[in-house]
Amino acid sequence: MKRFIALLLVVLLSVAAVGTAAAQGEPRPYRIVVVTHGQAADPFWSVVKNGVDQAAVDMRVTVEYQAPSTFDMVAMAQLIDAVVATDPDGLVVSIPDYDALGPSIRAAIEAGIPVISINSGSDVAEELGVLAHIGQTEYEAGYGGGQRLAAAGATKAYCVNHEVGNVGLDLRCQGFADAMAEAGGTVDVLAVDLADPTGSANRISAALTADETYDALLTLGPGSALPALQALESEGLLGEVLLATFDLSPEVLEAIRDGNMLFAIDQQQYLQGYLPIVYLTLYLENLNTPGSILVPTGPGFVTQETAAQVIEFAARGTR
């Protein structure tokens, strides 16, 4: 938490000193494009976009947010290529698949466009040559979740993955599995379809009833956490099968507050939208760069003790 506070103080001080254009309220002549693998209507990515939009206002720059309509790496690479062809002043990208997106990101950098990566891609950002990666290290976040679930009594768990093949999500499951293994437990991956919540709930229900030795679920986002919660309710397993998730939504926070979910791993995605716009503006205007390639926004853990406090901020669309 101290690192997060220090990071925010640095950013705020930098924002205050970027120049007279901001002080006079004049728009800056910069166009920044954000291309991610997450749609703005998604509960998680809507908060990222809120951060993007607020930073655009605060920094007085033009920002566009784009994403493929589904998790489609070919379509995302094509979006990046199309954006690069328009020669923006800056580019923000998520990197859920290095092999699929790496050539397009490198092409942007070779074209002289400053690039910052967010969310997925902490393990490949430096190799690609981006200015910074803003997010959390996914393996460590999954590992921390595994330690907490094991300490709560989990011995055999499913890692419920809604985007198998997304490297960041796969790393979460791997970290979770390694932590559980160290505690003597086991983890299997259960794939679900984010676009089909009812089908996802049914799949989770079927998996739990087919083998009653599973005693925990870790979902990788609110979109799969809610079907998991529905499955536990329908099978009468609330309180018997432990449930935790990555990332926040109002419903997730309410479930934690009410004791129906153990915790949420919070990567503070609002910062993942807000900070790259600030950093790119500072880079364009003053050639400022972050002090390290990784700018961490998590992981943090929201538990029953803190959920009620965070609910208010989630209602604003900032958590």
Q: Contact, 230 vs 201, CB < 8 A?
A: yes
pLDDT value at position 41? 87
Same domain, 110 and 189: no
| Cα–Cα dist 131/149, whole Å | 35
Domain that holds residue 153: 138-266
Inform me whether the pLDDT recorded for 81 exceeds 70: yes
- Which of residues 249 and 35 earns the better pLDDT score? 35
Q: Are residues 271 and 260 in the same domain?
A: no
d(CA 278, CA 7): 12
Q: Is 300 helix (H, G, I), strand (E, B) or coil?
A: strand
Task: Convert the pLDDT of each residue in 225-277 to its tens digit.
Answer: 999 999 999 999 999 999 999 999 889 999 999 999 999 999 999 999 999 99
308 is a domain residue: no
In terms of domains, do 175 and 244 share one? yes
Asked if residue 105 and residue 46 are part of one domain, the reply reads yes
Q: Are residues 208 and 259 in the same domain?
A: yes
Gap between the Cα atoms of 302 and 311, Å rounded: 10
Q: Say whether both 64 and 164 belong to one domain.
A: no
Measured N-to-C along each axis, helices 2-16 and 269-286 cross at an angle, to the nearest 10 degrees, of 40
Q: How far apart are CA 177 and CA 183, in angstroms?
A: 10
| DSSP classification of residue 171 | H
Give the helix/strand (H/E) hosting 34: strand 31-35
- Name the residue among 224, 215, 160 with its Cα closest to residue 185: 215
Q: At 124, which amino acid appears? A: V
Instruction: Kindly state whether residues 252 and 236 are assigned to the same domain.
Output: yes
pLDDT at 20: 46
317 found inside a domain: no
Percent of the chain at pLDDT > 70 equals 92
In a domain, 318, yes or no: no
How many domains does the chain fold into? 2
**Residue 203 falls inside a structural domain:** yes
Give me the pLDDT at residue 4, please: 47
Percent of residues, the chain, with pLDDT higher than 90:
83
pLDDT at 196 over 80: yes
Query: How many residues are recorded in the chain?
Result: 319
Q: Is residue 319 part of a domain?
A: no
Using alpha carbons, select from 154, 163, 211 the residue that is nearest to residue 185.
154
Cβ proximity of 269 and 48 under 8 Å: yes
Residue 126 pLDDT exceeds 50: yes
Residue 90 lies in a domain: yes
Asked if pLDDT for residue 59 goes beyond 50, the answer is yes
| pLDDT-derived band at 21, boundaries 50, 70, 90 | very low
Query: Average pLDDT over the chain, rounded to whole?
Result: 92
DSSP per position, 238-258 = BTTBEEEEES--HHHHHHHHT
Alpha-helical regions (H) of 133-182: 138-151, 167-182
Asked whether residue 306 is domain-assigned, the answer is: no
pLDDT score, position 165: 86
Residues 261 and 180 in one domain: yes
Contact 173, 142 (CB under 8 A): yes
Q: Which amino acid makes up residue 193?
A: D
Residues 175 and 271 grouped into a single domain = no
Confidence check: pLDDT of 66 > 70 = yes
Write the CATH number for 96. Answer: 3.40.50.2300
- What's the CA gap between 52 and 136, in Å, rounded? 18
**CA atoms in the 13 A half-sphere facing the CB of 244:** 32
Q: For tokens 């062809």, name the residue.
A: 85
104 and 118 inside one domain: yes
Same domain, 22 and 125: yes
58 domain-assigned: yes
Q: Quick one: which of 225, 217, 221 has its CA closest to 246? A: 221
Does the pLDDT value for residue 14 go beyond 70?
no
Tokens representing residue 34 in the block: 């954000």
- Name the band, by pLDDT with cuts 50, 70 and 90, for residue 24: low
pLDDT score of 188 more than 80: yes
> Does residue 289 carry a pLDDT above 80?
yes
The mean per-residue pLDDT over the stretch 181-210 comes to 97
Which helix H or strand E contains 316, and what residues bound it? Answer: none
| DSSP 8-state assignment for residue 42 | S
In this structure, are 255 and 151 located in the same domain? yes
- Paired tokens of 87: 């020669």
Using the predicted structure, report yes or no on whether residue 10 has a pLDDT greater than 70.
Answer: no
| Confidence category of residue 49, pLDDT binned at 50, 70, 90 | very high
Is pLDDT larger for residue 168 or for residue 13?
Answer: 168
